[in-house]
Chain A
């Protein structure tokens, strides 16, 4: 068994276990840390699937951006009373039923389908330069639209979070 196989299945097990532990997490802060563990394991899987740029973007965006934003959100929505924020669970039966049924459906359809491998798996390694050139030529319209979307989301989030004139009670 090669080292890459061991790493791949270790990352898969880490992602699966941390995501399953997220179901049972009652502390929101622990939930955020479990999600980041799962997403970093996914970044490792992306590297082993020859998608280095996506992996680096995943690490930068999630560990550097979304984790900080989520922890700020957790701290701003607790009373800071010293005790950790424990949450309740609702709809346990229907939620787990929906999850199990979705998972069974996915597993059934994946197992009956056969996926032929590509014609040339040898040159699977893409340079990051290829992605950069594609972003500036073939995907330039989605790239610019994504930039506008980020700007709009930035302004919208700042305006929504800063208007504190409507208070009840």
Chain B
């Protein structure tokens, strides 16, 4: 049983790093990687608080559903990235600046 602050500091670091990656990277796949990192930071918090209150398993179940939603987001997001690349011939989010042709 480890102190929960250590989990929470790591989760805070992961969330901040994910935010920086989402803002600074000029590639859509890297933006998706940053979103995955932020989702995993929330998962770490859920598991840590479930360890703090071990009489239930609500935290672990919620972490499982967050993983499922992350999978769906990655699949649909990468499909959209591939279509945008086919259409605009770029994968830089800033260069996609028109809605229709």
Contacts and interface: CB of A to CB of B under 8 A. Distances in A.
Interface residues of B, number: 73
A168 B19 contact: no
B54 A54 contact: no
Contacts of A131: 57, 60-61
Nearest to B101: A168
B17 A70 contact: no
- Contact-residue size bin, chain A (C-beta under 8 Å from the other chain): 35 or more
A78 to B, nearest CB: 8
A49 B70 CA distance: 21
Nearest to B36: A35
Nearest to A49: B51
A92 B50 CA distance: 36
B43 to A, nearest CB: 8
Contacts of A117: 1, 4, 52
A31 B54 contact: no
B89 A96 contact: no
Interface of A: 5, 8-9, 12, 15-16, 19-20, 22-23, 28, 31-32, 35, 38-39, 42, 45-46, 48-51, 53-54, 57-58, 61, 65-66, 69-70, 72-74, 76-77, 85, 87-92, 94-96, 98-100, 102-103, 106-107, 110-111, 115, 117-121, 123-124, 126, 130-131, 134-135, 139, 142, 146, 149-150, 152-154, 156-158, 160-161, 163-164, 166-169
Interface of B: 1-2, 4-10, 12-21, 23-30, 32-34, 36-37, 40, 43-44, 47-48, 50-55, 57, 60-61, 63-65, 67-72, 74-76, 78-83, 85-89, 91-92, 94, 101
